[in-house]
Amino acid sequence: MRTWKTALAFAAAMGMLSAPLATAQTAPAAAPAAPAAPAAPAAPAAKAWEIGQPAIDFTVKNFDTGKDFTLASELKKKKMLFVWISSSCSTCLAEMNELKLAMEEGKITDAAVYVVNIDFKDDNIKSYRENFVHKDFTVLHDPKFASAQKYRLRATPSSLIVDKKGDISYKSTGFEPGGVKELLQAIAAAK
């Protein structure tokens, strides 16, 4: 099982974290509060990016068509696997190679795969698309990290599965060789 701490440490060590993505995810420090009277304990608030919660809508460009892609318009049609990547990320490349092979072997049949590229340059994305991404995967372009910020992603690659009900059923950060097996099991388990 992948852990976000391991992935984050690896991404930081490899220089894969971009400043806007890393800093956008950090909440500002709160000022110390004055002592208050004891109150009844509050129930913990559910976070919208938690497993079992509804997926958060976002809009980015479909790299292949140039049109806007809005998550809300695709919900409940099919299970969806989103993988946030950067073209310069070697770990992302390893994951794309395994996903591409899984697709070619017919192991991904009941989910749409969306590769969300956070690069700034279209040339990088075009080359990555042509060389490493399966033709049936949809490539989305998010150079302003809009979708990544909504899900508080801290490193690439990060993966998220949205089930047919529109709820988050799986999320992970980082990738290890053979890790696509875990993704395939999560896709199968999603309702």
Q: If we measure between CA atoms, which residue out of 110, 114, 111 comes closest to residue 151?
A: 114
Q: Is the pLDDT of residue 71 over 70?
A: yes
Q: H or E segment at 69? A: strand 68-70
Higher pLDDT, 144 or 2: 144
Identify the sign of the CA torsion 57, 150, 167, 77: positive
Domains and CATH numbers, the chain: 51-189 (3.40.30.10)
pLDDT given at position 132: 86
Structure tokens at 43: 């129930």
pLDDT given at position 27: 30
Q: From the centroid of its chain, how far is CA 75? A: 16
Q: Is the pLDDT of residue 5 over 70?
A: no
Neighbouring-strand partners of residue 114: 82, 138
**Residue 152 pLDDT grade (very low, low, confident, very high; cuts 50, 70, 90):** confident
DSSP calls for 77-138: TSEEEEEEE-TT-HHHHHHHHHHHHHHHTT---SEEEEEEE--S-HHHHHHHHHHHS-TTSE
pLDDT, tens digit, 9 for 90 and up, residues 91-124: 999 999 999 999 999 999 989 999 999 988 888 8
Neighbouring-strand partners of residue 162: 80, 168
> Do 111 and 81 contact (CB within 8 A), yes or no?
yes
How does the average pLDDT of the chain come out, rounded? 78
pLDDT, tens digit, 9 for 90 and up, residues 16-31: 444 333 322 323 334 4
Helix 180-189 with 90-104: angle, nearest 10 deg: 60
Q: Is the pLDDT of residue 53 over 70?
A: yes
In angstroms, the CA 116 to CA 81 distance is 10
Rounded (10°) CA dihedral 85, 91, 97, 99: -60
Whole-prediction pTM: 0.73
